[in-house]
Structure 1
Amino acid sequence: MKDHSGSEGISRRHLLSMIGMTAGTAAMYQAMTSLGFAAESGYKGPIKLDGDPKGASVLILGAGLAGLTAALELRQAGYKVQVLEFNNRAGGRNWTLRGGDSFTELGGVTQKCEFDEGMYINPGPWRIPYHHHGLLDYCRRLGVALEPFQQLNHNAFLHSTKAFGGKPQRIRDIKIDFQGHVSELLAKVTQQGKLEGAVSKEDQEVLLQALKSWGALDKDYAYKAGDLTSEFRGYRKDPGGGLSARPLNSDPIAFSDVLNSRLWRSLANFSLYEFQTTMFQPVGGMDMISKAFVKQVGELIRYNSKVKEIRQDETGVTVTYEDTTNPGSSLQAKADWCVCTIPLTVLSQIDMNVGAPMQAAIAAVPYASSVKVGLQFKRRFWEEDEAIYGGISYTDLPISQISYPSTGFNQGGKGVLLGAYTWNGPNSYEFTAMSPDQRIKRAVEFGAQIHPQYRQDFETGISVAWHRVPFTLGCAGDWTEEARKEHYDNLCQIDGRIVLAGEHASYIPAWQEGAILSSLDAISRLHKRVLAS
């Protein structure tokens, strides 16, 4: 590593990189926060839209969470509100598929979900971080019951086709052994005086104590098989009762094998600020959130409405739309103002008279590619055979990961896994190009390399490739740093009588929190404009 002890000091970028490599991404995020590079959700409590809008009307395009939030708050503030929604349901990407549901993707293929009653998959958002304060507040206010979502399960798997003969390894073993071996190395360096000048004598003593505790090192600062390491990584034979009670210690994996497996790369998924515990999910499916909104504002929504044109002038906004149950129809909706939450991939294809800066911003943001596959099995073999209760296994196979249900623990019977979740890259594009049946077939074939039980226990599945979903044409806004600098502010500015909102108009893209905060910001600024006019 290059020496950074010279007079020029160390750059913040390099400092963050070193923190990430040595202490993990969670520590790096906290360092970013202290340096002003990152922060948690900026939600400060329920919005207050004080002042009388004097009967002003607002047309909201899209009944995803951004649109539903705007409808709820603007109606509460005294506006006349109407919502146009493309689908026959509200929620947008806040979507849950259950037995009996069906949908048609681009290309005309219709899938029908054949899950048993009580089984479901969330093809869009599927977890809620504890620091997404806005979303959690709306769940609380609207009475949406939540339960824990298991992100980290030490007993789930890390898998590589290139390591350990393709045999999956428990997360616990890789995590603890990597931690232990690194602690031993650092302890040796410390004892040899290699940290002189970087760490004081007093701090070196404390560091050795910390490494001994954190890395499960013995009195000689060695990480090796014994009672202590088994307390961290588990036993070859667990403690029991009676004459067979004596446990057998487990053997740590050699440091070289841990390093060369590259499995440690997946450990970052459990340290990232976005995925730290506690995470939540709505009881019964993610769409419990949008259904709770609909109980409040459902009468304002006109479903099956495909927006064809958005025009504004000095007096208001006129939207031309088609009733998708009556193809070829042409209807109009008018209002004084418009909050547009249509995904940019779709909005870029709609005729809309806004200024060149907003038009350029709309066209500048591609959407990430993502595919999810839900698989139903005859029995919850991951619990019965593997003692895996919730959590996620990661793999270098094209399916990327397997997520186990965080509900219905230890009850037996059938269960649904998230059998594939791809995000951008060749695997995602390849899965998107497949037919739904091919995606499911491949997910089962790949998953069987981790869980052989797939072969005899699989029953049915369903897949969602987001670039083939007509109402989004992609998963979420995929900003680059350069695009944000040039276009983000122009995207969010009020253009005449139109303002945009959605996860794409936030610094928390691909999360429901981003959609909600974007909406609250947009309607706050719009409300000020209305009062001023």
Structure 2
Amino acid sequence: MTESVLPTTRRDLLTLIGKVGGGAALYQAMTVMGHAAESQFTGPPGLSGAKRGASVLVLGAGLAGMLAAYELTKAGYKAQILETQNRAGGRNMTLRGGDVVTELGSVQKVGFAPGNYINPGPWRIPHHHRTVLHYCKELGVQLEPYIQNNTNAFVHRKSAFGGKAQRYRDVVTDWKGHVSELLGKALNAGALDQAVTGEDKAKLLEAMRSWGVLDKNMAYVKSEKLGEQRGWQRPPGGGVNGEPIPNDPFSLSDTLDSKIWETLGFFAEHVMQPSMFQPRGGMDHIGKAFQARVGKQIRYGTRVTKIAQDDRGVTASWTDAKTGAVGETKADWMVCTIPATVLGQIEIQVSGAKKAAIKALPYGNSVKIGLEMNRRFWETEDAIYGGSSFTDQAIGLISYPSHGAFSDGPAVLLGAYPFGVGAYILAGMTPEKRIQAALDQGSVFHPKHYKSEFRSGVSLAWSRMPWILGCCATWTEESRAAHYQNLVSLDGRIVLAGEHCSYYGCWQEGALLSSLDAITRLHQRASAAQG
């Protein structure tokens, strides 16, 4: 029993950061240890030599689509984009005062004060998302630090501490102390069952298996699940070679010899927050930067109804959302970034295997709620500057703005960001009831001011956005094995791209990596065809 539990001691802070701070915080911690999953990005594709007059039709003006058009245009292709919305950027979006959110069954107008905003889609950029960072620099998007992990924020569970929220720092310290004590007792006694009750032993074994990423035999061995926390020999990417290869774990003796706890303790100090970034003034500045380069190539309000191809080219049939007019756009090649949830409803001329892959890929849901408060009481009363407080209620967490610290006047915090059950609970409510639920549940962190300082709010449920019907793709190991390569394959003259075509799902990095992979393979096929 002791041998099964002992290896978990090298995983404690990594797993804890992953559970409390999210996947991006875990990547940061693994980077400190030298095992983080870096991006496969090594630089722009450097495509050249396109056949004179060669054309590419891109479906979707999200980041993947606009990047494809941007790089293909530089390579000499004539690229055009069809976009169903009247805006570019896809999930890369920011809501400000005066904006309108149109969901299935509801319309909201944002009432934030000038300068305030909420990012309902992506909201942070890890330091190792090199593709996003490269294009931000190339396109002139100004970035600022994003505070990912704040040990002065709160954690809350309904069944713990009488339902009262506690400082993250305090709970973490106690957790490490108690587990260390239990482990010490187990080592001294020779068996865990001499230190805990039978019921607690079962709970502890379950916790250790998850905490230490152990296999069904309680052994710490190389696995894909371990790679998600420990890092990769080949990191996740987009396209054909996107599947990651996990690293081999070090021995216990080597890990103990490294005294890694000293480095982890250094990065856990208040002044050593993980390196994260956000565009100054809102995430949509990335989408706007791409739009500034390819905007003239976008046809907005164009709903694709049919996709066909033959030996000579591709054809997209469409309906104009405003006038109802129908039309067709032809090109030599196609990059399709339409989300699988919508693409599965469109007639498309590809192989049966690719159609099956498209229809087999469900999307998870998420909800974000922006709450504008009259003042920054979390700073003045609780000394919280950025970071997030976590709860097991439906809202999942609240996150404090990383910009504008110490400023007067109204400010916006993220009042909810759940996945899973919590997301569907909130999505099933009216926008007004979502706001009320966010205020009720968020009050556990700031009971004196949360409701009294509330000014205005807006919510967005991704499952109710008609142009995507979900937040992001939810692959399983089984579905990837059966369908992933068919989804990303170049089928005749058509290739798909987007976060759903990557191993970096739900991140902008995945969308961009898959786009670069797709257009590189398309260019290779086109070059071979003309030769």
TM-score range, shorter chain: 0.7 to 0.9
**Does residue 1:96 correspond to 2:74, yes or no?**
no
- Displacement of 1:179 in angstroms is 2.6
Contact kept, 8 Å, 1:173 with 1:233, in 2: the verdict is: no
What is the CA distance between 1:87 and its match in structure 2?
A: 1.0
| Cα distance in 2 between the residues matched to 1:462 and 1:317 | 41
In structure 2, the residue matched to 1:118 is 115
Q: 1:24, 1:277 → 2: CA distance? A: 15
> Which of 384, 388, 391 is 1:388 aligned to?
384
What is the rounded CA distance, in whole Å, between the counterparts of 2:303 and 2:188 in structure 1? 69
1:199-239 CA-to-partner distances (Å, cap 9, x unmatched) read xxxx79x88998899899xxxxxxxxxxxxxxx999xxxxx
Please identify the structure whose Cα radius of gyration is greater: 1
Trace 1:31-430 onto structure 2 (pairs within 5 A). Answer: 39-107=37-105, 109-183=106-180, 277-326=274-323, 328-424=324-420, 426-430=421-425
Percent of counterpart pairs with the same letter?
Answer: 54
Distance 1:491 1:2, change over 3 A: farther
CA drift of 1:180 comes to 3.5
Aligned partners of 2:6 and 2:78: how far apart in 1?
A: 52
Aligned-partner Cα distance in 2 for 1:103–1:30? 33
Deviation at 1:182, TM superposition (A): 3.8
| Correspondence for 1:226 | none
Q: Which of 6, 15, 18 is residue 24 of structure 1 equivalent to?
A: 15
Distance across 2 between alignment mates of 1:30 and 1:418: 22
CA contact (8 A) 1:153 1:390 kept: yes
The question of whether the paired residues in 2 share the 8 Å contact of 1:176 and 1:233 is answered with no
Note if contact 2:28-2:274 (Cα within 8 Å) is conserved in structure 1.
Answer: no
**Deviation at residue 38 of structure 1 after TM alignment:** 8.2
1:146-178 deviation digits (Å, cap 9, x = unpaired) = 111111111100011211122111111112222
CA separation of 1:462 and 1:214: change in aligned 2, threshold 3 A: closer
> Which runs of no fewer than 5 residues in structure 1 stay unpaired?
5-13, 195-202, 217-231, 235-270
Name the aligned partner's letter for residue 280 of structure 1.
Answer: F
**Secondary structure at the residue paired with 1:530?**
helix
Q: 1:449 Cα shift?
A: 2.2
SS of 1:24's partner is helix
2:101/2:460 contact within 8 Å kept: no
Does the 8 Å CA contact 1:155/1:172 hold for their aligned counterparts? yes
**SS, match of residue 117 in structure 1:** coil
**Is the Cα–Cα contact under 8 Å of residues 14 and 30 in structure 2 kept in the other structure?**
no
How far 1:52 sits from its partner (Å)?
3.1
Residue 245 of structure 1 corresponds to none
How far the C-alpha of 1:375 sits from its partner, in A, is 0.5
Distance between the aligned counterparts of 2:175 and 2:343, measured in 1? 48
CA distance in 2, matches of 1:187, 1:288: 52
Aligned residue for 2:443? Answer: 448
For 1:431, the equivalent position in structure 2 comes to 426
Aligned with 2:98: secondary structure?
coil
CA displacement at 1:440 relative to structure 2:
0.9
Deviations 1:221-259 (Å, cap 9, x if unpaired)? xxxxxxxxxxx999xxxxxxxxxxxxxxxxxxxxxxxxx
Q: Give the distance between the partners of 1:182 and 1:59, measured in 2 at CA.
A: 57
Gaps of 5+ in 2: 19-25, 192-252
Give yes or no for contact 2:49–2:76 (8 Å, CA) kept in 1: no
Counterpart position of 1:517 = 513
**Aligned counterparts of 1:420 and 1:50: Cα–Cα separation in 2:** 45
Letter in 2 for 1:433: G
Q: Find the residue that maps to 1:454 and give its secondary structure.
A: coil
Change (3 A) 1:31 1:484: farther
Letter paired with 1:515: A
Q: Matched residues in 2 for 1:89 and 1:186: separation?
A: 56
What is the rounded CA distance, in whole Å, between the counterparts of 1:208 and 1:489 in structure 2? 40
Q: Structure 1, residues 54-104: CA drift from partner, whole Å, max 9, x if none? A: 221000000101001101000000000100111111100001000000021
Q: Secondary structure at the match of 1:373?
A: strand
| Aligned partner letter, 1:441 | Q
CA contact (8 A) 1:183 1:211 kept: no
Secondary structure of 1:517's aligned partner: helix
The corresponding residue for 1:257 is: none
Partner SS for 2:114: coil
Alpha-carbon distance in structure 1 between the residues aligned to 2:496 and 2:366: 24
CA contact (8 A) 2:59 2:336 kept: yes
**Is residue 2–residue 190 contact of structure 2 (8 Å, CA) maintained in 1?**
no
Higher relative contact order, chain-length normalized (CA < 8 Å, sep 6+) = 2
Q: 1:489 to 1:2 in 2, by over 3 A?
A: farther
Q: Is contact 2:50–2:523 with CA below 8 Å preserved after alignment?
A: no
Task: Please report how far the alpha carbon of residue 441 of structure 1 lies from its aligned counterpart in structure 2 after TM superposition.
Answer: 1.1
Structure-2-length-normalised TM-score:
0.80
Aligned alpha-carbon RMSD (Å): 3.2
CA distance 1:114–1:180, change in 2 (3 Å): same
Q: CA deviation at 1:51?
A: 2.4
**Does the 8 Å contact 2:48/2:76 carry over to 1?**
no
**Paired amino acid for 1:330:** V
Displacement, 1:504? 0.1
| Segments of 4+ moved more than 4 angstroms | 14-19, 25-33, 183-194, 206-216
CA-CA distance at 1:20 after TM superposition: 3.7
Instruction: Tell me: CA distance 1:514–1:184, structure 2 relative to 1, closer, same or farther (3 Å).
Output: same
Aligned to 2:502, which of 502, 506, 519? 506
Query: Equivalents in 2 of 1:209, 1:190: separation in Å?
Result: 20
Deviation of 1:193 after TM superposition, in Å, equals 9.9
Q: TM-score, length-normalised on structure 1? A: 0.79
Q: Distance in 2 between matches of 1:511 and 1:215?
A: 28
